[in-house]
Amino acid sequence: MDTNVVQFFKLVFLLFFPCMWTPHDAQWVHVSSTGISSAGDSINPGDTLNSSTYIVSEKGTFALGFFHRIDSTTTTTETYLAISEMAEADQILPFNLFVWFGSRDRPIVNNSVMLTLDNNGTLKIVQKGGDPIVLYSPPQPTKNTVATLLDSGNFILKEVQSNGSIKRVLWQSFDYPADTLLPGMKLGVRHKTGQTWSLTSWLTDEIPVPGPLALEWDPKGYQLIIKQYGVIYWTSGVLRGKTFKNISPEVTSMYDFIIVSNEDEDSFTYVNSNQSQRSEWLLTTMGQLKDLKGQDIARADYCYGYNTNGGCQRLKQPVCRHHGDIFDLRTGFLVAGDFSANYDSSLGISDCRAICWNNCGCVAFTSWFPNDTGCRFWTDGPQALGVATSSSRPS
């Protein structure tokens, strides 16, 4: 019988030990600070940004460049254009937290890559042996363009006047959120174009491609919602003044909310009440919404089974599951239990939980691959599933 060191979820009854979910950060990528250099905060027509250079916002708050990730399962190298928060006083690893990706659903599989802005105003990623990834192409050639990374974390392509002032913004990264909502970013919809603004979780803490969870603004319900594959799992409750029913007033007091509802758009935006503080709202791979500079905002990671607390929505449940049934996070040596595997690398840990919960014979689950994709399920009764823990490992 195999004995494995594994972190897994076991179905328990009436007893729940809450666990802390740590967000992914820039250390999942392999970045060498040797030989990389800053190229100011802007890209001008004719400029290129390659894998050994990056631009930094005026006050050094954010950086934009190409970052490389080696997959722990396939060992392939993927390259992403990304914006990262800059870590203070860290010369070895200055990149702290990724907040945006320019090619999130199209990782580049070689290191020969450049970001270019041509004389016609086209902003694109050029890669050796592959098609370019166009971020913006004007309907007609546009002169006097500049792409600038702002201290808000917004990367904008602007048309400028002869004196350098902004004539208009042609494109901005804030219109294409990943899993992080920065102050000034929007959730909602632009009616004229049909463009939507929403957060989408990473697939796993290692893989930034879009996962199954989304944070959206519901203008009809005047509330925030978290969905998994389009199904609403959590709602904030109606916004009244500065408070949401299902978000602690201690949390909402830290922000000012801006709601826009007109023929052009319906949107939600937040800014910090204390302008000297920074914040990032992050949607995790299990559905937790948290401010990395403050407190938990929502715990949609608890929204499964019969739990309807804190904004969790009542969903249809398998007849074999009962009130009080819940998964408990364990770490240790698995010494008993029959298991099966799903090798689908598009499945993340929240998918594994949903599959296990809906299978009446499933009593525990974990990821299958080292990069936290795929699923492993145990189907013995909970009394037959043994866990041997060691003092050298968390339990």
Residue 337 has a pLDDT of 65
First to last CA, the chain: 22
How far is the C-alpha of 243 from the C-alpha of 355, rounded, in Å? 35
Q: What is the pTM of this model?
A: 0.87
Query: Tokens for 351?
Result: 């998918």
Residue 183 has a pLDDT of 96
8 Å CB contact between 365 and 377: yes
Least Cα distance to 26 among 123, 106, 93 occurs for 93
Q: Where are the domains of the chain?
A: 4-20+316-388, 22-176
Q: What is the CATH number of domain 22-176?
A: 2.90.10.10
Paired sense of beta strands 37-38 and 53-56, if any: parallel
Task: Output phi, psi for 246, to 5 deg.
Answer: -105, 20
Walk along the chain (395 residues) and give the pLDDT tens digit of each residue. 444 555 655 554 322 223 333 445 444 554 444 445 567 899 999 999 988 888 999 999 999 998 888 888 888 888 999 999 987 644 445 566 899 999 898 888 877 899 999 999 999 999 988 899 999 999 998 889 999 999 999 999 999 888 878 889 999 999 999 999 999 999 999 999 999 999 999 999 889 999 999 999 999 999 999 999 999 999 999 999 889 999 999 999 999 999 999 999 999 999 999 887 889 999 999 999 999 877 899 999 888 888 899 999 988 888 888 887 878 777 665 556 678 899 999 999 999 999 999 998 888 888 899 888 999 988 865 444 444 443 333 33
How far is the C-alpha of 62 from the C-alpha of 56, rounded, in Å? 6
Q: For residue 101, what are the β-bridge partners?
A: 82
Burial of 51 (0-12, 13-18, 19+ CB in 10 A): buried
How far is the C-alpha of 29 from the C-alpha of 94, rounded, in Å? 12
8 Å CB contact between 329 and 19: yes
Residue 95 has a pLDDT of 61
Residue 294 has a pLDDT of 75
